[in-house]
Structure 1
Amino acid sequence: MNGASVVVAGAGLAGLVAARRLAAAGADVTVLERRSTVGGRVRTETRDGFTLDRGFQVLFTAYPAVRRELDLAALDLRYFTPGAVIARPGSRSVLSDPLRDLRSAPASIRNDEVTFTDKVRTLFLRQHVDTRTESEIFRSADRSIRSYLREWGFSDDYVDNFVAPFYGGITLDRSLSTSKRVFEYTFKALSDGRIAVPAAGMAAIPEQLAARARSTGASIRLSERVESVTDHGDGVTVETDAETIDADALVVATDPKEANRLTDVAEIPTDARGCVTQHYRLPEDVAPTTRRKLLLNAGDPSPNTVVPMSEVAPEYAPDDEALLNATFLGDAALDRDAGALADETRLTLESWYPDRDFADLDPVRTHRIEFAQFDQPPGVHETLPDHRAPGGRTYLAGDYTAWSSIQGAMRSGREVARAVEWDF
């Protein structure tokens, strides 16, 4: 790019991928991030020796962009086992992939929450999605996840007891009104790979991307907010809270609401899916063990899931203590008192494990996330903006140009870098 100057507004996953690729192509890249850390929505904090990701987030190792942009070995991943535990008062049963989790195969085969026909249909569905690419899936005719599964002939019990809470955790939509494209592609990724968290927390992902961007020559400036943008057609002027920067191009890689403010691109989706994730400490000898599987709430939508994080990643908790988290879906959860949420999780666990006492369940942190994902109803992907939507020398990068996921964000960063390179 012959030394062209490019400003990247936002040091989330998309912005960091774009910065590395543009710097590697010869651009003079400056990343401006309003927060004091990189990562955007992918963040981690430590408290009292616990590692707390902001919300329940995991890495799908089968995502092509993940394999392309990250050194997975360096992340020191800790893996969940396939499947989940379906829990209701007085009952817990395992449903897993017998092809990839031989240890749980007998329990999965005996699971009476799901009919034999549903299990066979799941295998056929797996074969169906395995033959399709990401672009094919996201160009296909769309409908809701619930309608899609009904067309496949799955029983209501299977959909309500397993799919609704499991995909409620992925799409933050237990009603299954989300686009079936998201279901198909994440189902494919779950079949082709695993889900995991880095031993140091999810923030290790953007930190690695930032280190790679810096190694190619990109400059990353934290705690510096972009106030306004003026596109002159052949260049841009970026006003920050500290200075004025003239550049050949600008990549807006902020969150959707901020991107809409800076560019006035109406197609940027701002309807949100929110959630609350509450983290708890518990004596290790009292904590439930699931062989590193999620606990799905089949009896009630609140909390949607409970996850034994320190069983998956022992580094997430101090010695002799366990870390659990519970996720509550919807806008109503955002306004609920933290103590009431903790009481609900405690009562839920006691109903699932009537032989245990969870009186020592102690909230460590409550994350209220108003904009965890943009809403993805059927047909939304045709309405999303193109990377060049702002016009002139201003470009967009973010999962809102693809689909709401780590895959969408990283892919967007790569594609916007190609667009800028092409124009220069």
Structure 2
Amino acid sequence: MEKDAQVIIIGAGLAGLTAAKVLKAAGKSVLLIEASDAVGGRVRTDEVNGFLLDRGFQVLLTAYPETKRFLNYSKLDLCRFDPGALILNTAGATSIGDPVRRPSSLISTLLSSAGTLTDKLRMLRLKLKLGRKTIEEIFAEQEITTIAYLQKEGFSPTIISQFFKPFMTGIFLEGQLSTSSRMFEFVFKMFGEGDAAIPAKGMGMIPLQLAEGLTSDEMIFNEKVDAIDGNRVKTASGVVYTADYILMATSQASILPPFGQATAVPHSVTNMYFSAKKKPFEMPLIALNTLPGKLVNNIAVMDRISPCYSKSGDALISLSLIGNHATENEDELRASVITELKFWYPDAIHWTHLKTYHIAYALPNDDSVCNEANDEVLRLNAQCFVCGDYLMNGSINAAMKSGRLAAEAIIKTMG
């Protein structure tokens, strides 16, 4: 029986697309089968009423090794946030920057009430320390929680609550900072060595660029795979595809039988978008809500970073609410969000709601992480392999690296 491809890849997210890219570069034939209507997985951008809405607030850290390896940053037309953050607290708003990279932020950072002078010196010391550590050294360190790590480094409760906790909560999507200290060191190093950026036309441009080398014959959309049997995959519509090898590039929760496994509870986020005639703030920073019991963790004015996000020129405001709020009344949730934010931004009562995304599986649990995946992890049996960020750590870098490593393992097996 003639095979449909040498390798079938289930899932066209960043991991699956990177694997396909590596396999094709090695001369192997591939077939991607994707349950949704387009590439991207968790990295997608929609156009709604003339605005570009990323499905969940995300940024590309330009220092990531795998993205530097596979992506053309120039073609993505990256637009960068300034390093640092706008801190929203009961006294109003204050900002913390990176005076090493943005000397103009020195005065505001020194005067910021978000931490003591000693805290700011400790932050500089941490940046320099992580600059000297390799990524391999970071992931070889003993793991403790991020909160324990920050306390061990001597940071005060003030800067932990006013900066580190809301900042890292927005990245880790969990508010206790139970995430591994390895992940904190890795992410903080990446922020210190590169930029937090978005492609001018949305985060969805990243998977689209990865997919550029694939033809329409090599991708099948709106087709859910129900089962794997040896070198055959069966879809919900009853079609059977065959290949020498199968690569499951899905989330951990979507791994097909008989390979399903117990999974730690993933991290969820609710992402709300509003438009406004006036920007709530002009600085190209992410705003962090430091109030206890808050709903909104972080705010970004997307068109301030890339004007392409708004065709009309109206402000596009992205709000991240940690956790899954899908079961709550939508009108009441929006009203609560506006009530919370009008303390700093009285005009919030005039904002227009565009769309809300409830993302149940936004990131895997990262209480324990690594940066490598060997053949024993990647290979389930003679024909079937897996890839995905959950195998290492929840990041764009790990998703792409897992795809590359799985593809290299398949190529090695094929000989």
User: Is 1:31 the counterpart of 2:32 in the alignment?
Assistant: yes
Contact 1:86 1:297 in 2 (8 A): yes
After superposition, the CA RMSD in angstroms is: 2.0
Aligned mate of 1:258, from 249, 254, 257? 254
Residue matched to 1:275: 269
Q: Quote the residue 2:65 is aligned against.
A: 64
Match runs of 1:403-418 below 5 Å:
403-418=393-408
2:47 counterpart residue number: 46
Q: Does 1:201 align with 2:197?
A: no
1:100 Cα deviation (Å)? 1.0
What residue is the counterpart of 1:247 in the other structure?
243
SS at match of 1:351: coil
Q: 2: CA distance between counterparts of 1:26 and 1:383?
A: 25
Contact 2:81 2:305 in 1 (8 A): yes
TM (norm. structure 2) is 0.94
Deviations 1:67-102 (CA, angstroms, capped at 9, x unpaired): 001011101111111100000234100101011122
Shift of the alpha carbon at 1:218?
A: 7.8
CA contact (8 A) 2:81 2:195 kept: yes
Partner of 2:161: 160
Which amino acid is 2:306 matched to?
Answer: A
Q: How many residues align?
A: 408
- Give the TM-score normalised by structure 1: 0.92
* 2:356 corresponding residue in structure 1: 366
Name the CA distance, whole Å, in 1 between partners of 2:297 and 2:206. 26
- Distance in 1 of aligned mates of 2:49 and 2:258: 41
Q: Which amino acid aligns with 2:254?
A: E
2:296 to 303, 324, 343: 303
- Could you list the per-position Cα deviations for residues 188-243 of structure 1 after superposition, in whole angstroms to 9, with x for gaps in the alignment? 000000011111111110011011344xx981221122121112xxxx11112352
Q: Which amino acid aligns with 1:341?
A: L
CA contact (8 A) 2:50 2:312 kept: no
CA-CA distance at 1:127 after TM superposition: 1.6
- Distance (whole Å) between structure 1 residues aligned to residue 19 and residue 115 of structure 2: 44
Superposition pairs for residues 73-88 of structure 1, below 5 Å? 73-88=74-89
What SS does the aligned partner of 2:203 have?
coil
Paired residues of 1:32 and 1:220 also in contact (CA < 8 A): yes
| Whole-Å separation in 2 of the counterparts to 1:23 and 1:123 | 44
From the superposition, tell whether residues 186 and 294 of structure 1 become closer, same or farther in structure 2 (CA, over 3 Å).
same
Question: Does residue 145 in structure 1 map to residue 146 in structure 2?
Answer: yes
Structure 2: where are the runs of 5+ without partners?
none
- CA distance in 2: counterparts of 1:128 and 1:41, whole angstroms: 33
- Which structure 1 residue ranges, 5 or more long, are not aligned? none
What is the CA–CA distance in structure 1 between the aligned matches of 2:28 and 2:201, rounded to whole Å? 32
Moved more, 122-131 or 5-14: 122-131
The list of structure 1 runs, each at least 4 consecutive aligned residues, that deviate by more than 6 angstroms after superposition, is 382-385
Distance 1:14 1:125, change over 3 A: same
Deviations 1:94-116 (A, max 9, x none): 10101112222210111122111
SS at match of 1:334: coil
- SS of residue paired to 2:362: strand
Taking only the aligned residue pairs, the percentage that are identical comes to 33
Structure 1 residue 24: Cα displacement: 1.2
Equivalent position amino acid for 1:237 in 2: R
Query: Superposed, which structure 2 residues align to 1:99-248 within 5 Å?
Result: 99-214=100-215, 219-231=218-230, 236-240=231-235, 241-248=237-244
Q: Secondary structure at the match of 1:395?
A: strand
Q: Distance in 2 between matches of 1:142 and 1:389?
A: 26
SS at match of 1:34: coil
Per-residue deviation, residues 391-418 of structure 1 (Å, max 9, x unmatched): 2111011101111110000011111111
Deviation readout 1:262-281 (Å, 9 max, x if unpaired): 452526x3521111010001
